[in-house]
Amino acid sequence: MTQLKLHLLGSPVLRERCEEVHAIDDGIRKLVDEMYQTMHTAKGVGLAANQVGLTHRIAVVQVADEEPITLINPAIVEREGKVRDEEGCLSIPEIYADVERSQRVVVETTTLEGARERHDVSDYLARAVQHEIDHLDGILFLDRLSPLKRKMLLKKWKKLRKGETGYIKDVMPARSSR
């Protein structure tokens, strides 16, 4: 089983806009498989390609008992409602904050068979989908907070990271996070 290495806040790849996938080949299928494995080991509910150092427009999402959703070149085609709830991120461990998201979205994505399909998702699953699509645009949940809140959490993050160097790490089983 291949575990991909996780990129943490500070790694420049997290700020890159990921590139459209033009062909679904064995390499892409293998990557998606490894992303699911890595996400499950980390006990996350979502993982984007740039979180494992790659700039493909691919993310995986799996919330509790719901069907997993593989996002390839995803596009949100419909949004409804606004809701605030707590979010975290596998790339910013131990940092959590309330983020406003659409309550329901319809996301269009390319399947591993190369077709386009739509998923109508709500609540926590919709939140995870929006969080992952943000990643593919180089956006982190911290960017969606007030400047004051962000500053406070970055201070906490620096304190937590004290003495640690490097922003690429092996995935360790952890508590639930995105």
**Per rule CB under 5 A, is residue 178 in the interface with Co ion?**
yes
Whether 132 is catalytic is yes
* Cβ at position 92, least distance to Co ion in Å: 7
* Cβ at position 115, least distance to Co ion in Å: 27
Comparing CA positions, the residue from 36, 63, 47, 46 lying closest to residue 124 is 63
Buried/exposed 103-135: b ≥16 CB within 10 Å, e otherwise: ebbbbebbeeeeeeeebebeeebbbbbbbbbbb
d(CA 22, CA 146): 36
Between 61 and 89, CB nearer to Co ion: 89
- Backbone Cα Rg of the chain: 15
**Per rule CB under 5 A, is residue 127 in the interface with Co ion?**
no
* Collapsed DSSP state (helix, strand, coil) of residue 20: coil
* Cβ at position 131, least distance to Co ion in Å: 6
Between 32 and 60, CB nearer to Co ion: 60
* Cβ at position 51, least distance to Co ion in Å: 6
- 107 strand-pairing partners: 76, 119
Contact criterion met (CB below 8 Å) for 175 and 10: no
Hey, which residues between 63 and 82 contact Co ion (CB under 5 A)? none
Q: Site for Co ion (CB under 5 A): which residue of 89, 97, 133, 136? A: 89
Between 24 and 41, CB nearer to Co ion: 41
Which residues are the active-site residues? 132
Q: What is the contact surface with Co ion in residues (CB under 5 A)?
A: 89, 178
